[in-house]
Structure 1
């Protein structure tokens, strides 16, 4: 798609070295998400599941000012003005978040700048969240009169607990990346100076790990959290057994014995 054909807000993707980057592009509105962008995220993540070249999925915002500032409210009058439209919009948001949560491949949110509303919900749908110290977080639902779906609330509670979730939603206050790290909303926080280097190193390392192991771990966590579409304990056990019966397991043992880097193929 040429620059002239791209809408004001769109989702861009790039694949390199096993890392699929899904980039939220709407810089003039601090990477606010339109309905079409929500749908594009869901499609990009879903398509990646059947692509063996994708080992890790990274979600990030274009530029340095924002990860994502939430939904693009400028289109609400046209696309979220009645009950049917509101439900369709909510379903589209949930589809994007669900695709990330259920992804068999590790998902990482690389957060710089503003991360508010739907941006927080989208980032919490990822397995890991890395943030700059100066990132700004806020859940402003109460200031906008919007409801927040059960699935989104549950994810907040699973990660930071019910008391902290209530505080973040009811006060709608803005807080820094440093505090986000302290309360466990993000996994680690780095200075802007070192953020890209450290996070890229983590991502590159993860892209080289055994895909079946990564999938089994993610499946086990979802089972423990008892998500709505979570796999059964029996399914988790089958996936763990499959790891030990795989070519990758044999490759890992051989590489360890030979003191070399393993080459995993996901089978």
Structure 2
């Protein structure tokens, strides 16, 4: 199968960029003229961008957000579809690139949080669902518009929809292609928290500090185990989660956690 490349797709002004503030690594979806829609090149760049943040020892938590104040991500850039999804072969190749981006988020060995405001549609919702936690501002809009575009979502992306909300709510989203607001998204479990727009930044920063202060190896082991069970007890994934758990018990952080508890002080975890 011939995979589409950035060179074969229409030129896009959008980009992914990474920033590091303290222990927080930010992945910014930056395509403001198109409500932060994802071009093919941006989908292709995502695994490497996530890997850079995972490899950065300073980063304890990754936050995904859209550039500006109006949109998280409006999904894939539909203006490219005439070229990048013009037939079944190209569509399957495009889906493979999408899935690789989602997997990079889902299997990153650090906690990943989606900071959602404004439009969170289609592939943008797929990005959010691949994150570990989703915090949304009031006024955000969520939808999967596939039924109005005549396309089908990859199986892995459908699985990510099913995981938090179950079959009935997933069918409603997919069958109707209707937009739902933050209140409804929170009620059905699509997002983990709904906060006022003016408090979103502060809430994200507080949550990032909370995660960063906890033991990184413990979080890694927990994430691997949860993902393994969610994937149907995949034997390789279970083996990786067991190895991560063993790392905890042989770590300096376990000693630090024990000593801090006995000494009644706040632990200072190193991730070692």
| Interval containing the TM-score (normalised by the shorter chain) | over 0.9
Q: Does 1:61 align with 2:66?
A: yes
Counterpart of 1:139? 144
Counterpart of 1:184? 189
Find the aligned partners of 1:71 and 1:227 in 2 and give their Cα distance: 29
Alignment length (residue pairs): 262
Find the aligned partners of 2:24 and 2:234 in 1 and give their Cα distance: 26
Of 29-38 and 43-52, deviating more is 43-52
Find the aligned partners of 1:178 and 1:64 in 2 and give their Cα distance: 19
Counterpart of 2:92? 87
Question: Over residues 110-141 of structure 1, what are the superposed CA-to-partner deviations in whole Å (9 max), with x where a residue is unaligned?
Answer: 00001011111110000000001110111111
Counterpart of 2:26? 21
Question: Over residues 6-60 of structure 1, what are the superposed CA-to-partner deviations in whole Å (9 max), with x where a residue is unaligned?
Answer: 9511111101212110000111111000011111222111233333222111110
CA RMSD of aligned residues (A): 1.8
Q: TM-score, normalised by structure 1?
A: 0.93
Counterpart of 1:3? none
Find the aligned partners of 1:78 and 1:172 in 2 and give their Cα distance: 24
Find the aligned partners of 2:232 and 2:48 in 1 and give their Cα distance: 21
Counterpart of 2:8? none
Select which of 150, 153, 170 maps to 1:148: 153
**Where does 1:92-241 land on structure 2 (aligned, <5 Å)?**
92-226=97-231, 231-241=236-246
Find the aligned partners of 2:236 and 2:51 in 1 and give their Cα distance: 17
Q: TM-score, normalised by structure 2?
A: 0.91
Residues 24 and 235 of structure 1, relative CA distance in 2, 3 Å threshold: closer
Residues 46 and 199 of structure 1, relative CA distance in 2, 3 Å threshold: same
8 A contact 2:118–2:141 mirrored in 1: yes
For residue 170 of structure 1, report the CA deviation from its aligned partner: 0.3
Flag structure 1 segments of 5+ consecutive residues without an equivalent. Answer: 1-5
**Where does 1:247-262 land on structure 2 (aligned, <5 Å)?**
247-262=252-267
Select which of 43, 49, 68 maps to 2:48: 43
Of 231-240 and 99-108, deviating more is 231-240
For residue 207 of structure 1, report the CA deviation from its aligned partner: 1.4
Find the aligned partners of 1:18 and 1:88 in 2 and give their Cα distance: 35
Find the aligned partners of 2:247 and 2:18 in 1 and give their Cα distance: 31
Moved over 6 A (4+): none
